[in-house]
Amino acid sequence: MYEGIKQATGKPAKKSTPLKSKTGETITDQDNKLARWVEHYLDLYSKENSVSQEALDAIKDLPVLKELDAEPTLEELNKAINALSCGKASGEDGIPPEIIKSGKPVLLEPLHKLLCQCWREAAEEDWLPPTFVCCVLVPTLFGIFFSLLLNFAFKDSEESVHLHTRSDGKLFNLSRLKAKKKVCTVHIREMLFADDTALTSHTEEDLQSLMDRFAHACKEFGLTISIKKTHVKGQGVLATPSNCIDNEKLEITHQFIYPGSTVTSKLSLEVKISKRIAKAAAIMAKCSFLPKFSIHVETKYEDNKGINDNIFDTELRDEETEVCFIDIAYDEIPERYYKESEDPRCFKSEKTARGLLQEGWRDTQDPIMCSYKLVTVKFEVWGLQTRVEQFVHKVVRDVLLLGHRQAFAWVDEWIDMTMEEVREYERATQEATNKKLGTFPPAIAISETPLPACARSGPSSAPSTPLSTEAPDFLSVPKDRPRKKSAPETLTLPDPARRDSAFRLPSLFSWGPSTPQPE
């Protein structure tokens, strides 16, 4: 299944977003794009930005934590080992965390000595490479700088979203939230998304106040707000908000997309769910699972009571083949398909005097023709193969049981037909069935097999059976039974390359003591 999805999705396409020059022209060449980025950053950092004295005075002096310079202790290392997660991949040393946790009593002291030695050597020399400084320290320092900016902007602000919560885990107990104990109020006014910030409030006026405070703090700290990248979104509001920064009106947006989530103005997940369903449907539509589904039915006839266990000379293992006897008289059929006129226990032929089969009829009737069916089902989809193949075998068994009961009960209709009329009836039924299932291939096909020389033709005066363009009743879906639209509309009968599972279904027909009948 996963291999099919990989083939359907293919290699990820490399997308390149075009850039625009200062004059608004689109840039597609890679070299020109790099030159445009250089130009952009030169203009961005050519301006001298400085933090105002007011902002510097608002920053509190924090005590220096000298204990962080001390070497790690045995207790800290022990706590770190206990916090290791099991079942994770090992690192570059190839040692899984289970071994370290299991050998902690022996490894704790040697590991502590090694850690302290690395700590002392790192403190004596400049061990941070330039790439590590740029990738790790710069974002960390900017995060600290931005936290100071937010504290300066909202140090005495009351505008925010108030959330009542509890510290004992009873978050959804409304009666407990009304209590005065163990209940705390959380004020949420800013939410950080990587290098983006979202300001929240209950009213449009409060939001404008927060934005004015934020804009003032950015000026004091030497930062510039990008008006083009700043949007306003209202959730559950009647009127569209109209907020601005420095008298410039902000653009209205209805959704905010962040890696892994989509926040919309409708307070629902419909957009996110629809996108995921559409993506999954597009991928699954390319996966060719149906060609791995096939049903193959092989038929042979013998004048016996179903005693030939290897009539098909198959090489299937015993555990892959199950022999199932079908008794057209006493095997149960679905109630919706039962008709008394087609019950061999109640039916008696007017032309042949056959019928009214009693219990044990296979031992008393002679001769008997047995129809051997080798049904092979293949459905190679991981996780569903066994269940689907068993279900198909059950359905095929019910269809064969019903069809052979009707063939016995309709003996007066076909006993006088010539072989040419039988073939014509098969052809018409085949066309009607394919028309009912659909005009697109693949469709049901009946192979033409040569008849033995001993086959007897009916008299020329035999009445012809009227042919109809409608499918037989046993192939029609009852009107009182609702159809499931999710079910497949066609049945393919290809010749499988190999046979995964099979049923042998001997179907017994009772022939009276009259003259032999054609196959």
Task: Give the tens place of pLDDT for each residue, 399-422.
Answer: 888 888 888 888 888 888 888 988
Quote the distance between the C-alpha of residue 212 and its chain's center.
46
The pairing of strands 501-504 and 321-323 is parallel
Contact 249, 262 (CB under 8 A): no
Q: What is the pLDDT of residue 483?
A: 40
Q: Where are the beta strands (DSSP E) in 352-482?
A: 368-379
CB atoms within 10 A of CB 334: 10
Q: For residue 143, which amino acid is it?
A: G
Distance CA 413, CA 240 (A): 77
DSSP state at residue 358: P
What is the model's pLDDT at position 508? Answer: 44
**pLDDT of 171:** 58
Give residue 139's pLDDT band: very low, low, confident or very high (50, 70, 90).
Answer: confident
C-alpha angle with apex 140: 137 to 144, nearest 5 degrees? 135
Q: What rounded mean pLDDT belongs to the chain?
A: 75
User: Are β-strands 248-249 and 368-379 bridged in parallel, bridged antiparallel, or unpaired?
Assistant: unpaired
Among the listed residues 434, 476, 437, 430, the one whose alpha carbon sits nearest the alpha carbon of residue 337: 476
Query: What pTM value is reported for the model?
Result: 0.45
Which of 40-44, 288-292, 316-320, 461-465 is predicted least confidently? 461-465
Q: Is 250:232 a contact under the CB 8 Å cutoff? A: yes
pLDDT at 126: 57
Q: What is the mean pLDDT of residues 52-61?
A: 87
State the pLDDT at residue 114: 92
Three-state SS at 204 = helix
Short-list 243, 172, 260, 231, CA closest to 204: 243
Angle at 378 between CA 372 and CA 380, to 5 degrees: 165
d(CA 182, CA 187): 16
Three-state DSSP string of 113-182: HHHHHHHHHHHHCCCCCHHHHHHHHHHHHHHHHHHHHHHHHCCCCCCCEEEEEECCCCCCCHHHHCCCCC
Cis peptide leading into 516, omega within 30 of 0?
no
- Most distant pair of Cα atoms in the chain: their distance: 119
Single-letter amino acid, residue 207: L
Task: Read off the pLDDT of residues 443-471 as tens digits, 9 standing for 90 and up.
Answer: 445 554 444 433 333 333 333 333 333 43
Q: What's the token pair of residue 73?
A: 């202790």
Report all structural domains of the chain as residue ranges with CATH numbers, in order of start: 18-44 (no CATH), 69-84+93-129 (no CATH), 137-253 (no CATH), 294-312+319-420 (3.30.530.20)
Closest CA to 246 of 225, 232, 222: 225
Q: Give 77's pLDDT tier (boundaries 50, 70, 90).
A: very high
Q: Which helix (H) or strand (E) holds 57?
A: helix 53-58
Q: Which two tokens stand for residue 311?
A: 């009539």
Whether the bond into 442 is cis, omega within 30 of 0: yes
Ranges 15-24, 207-216, 336-345: which has the least confidence? 15-24
CB 350 within 8 A of CB 481: no
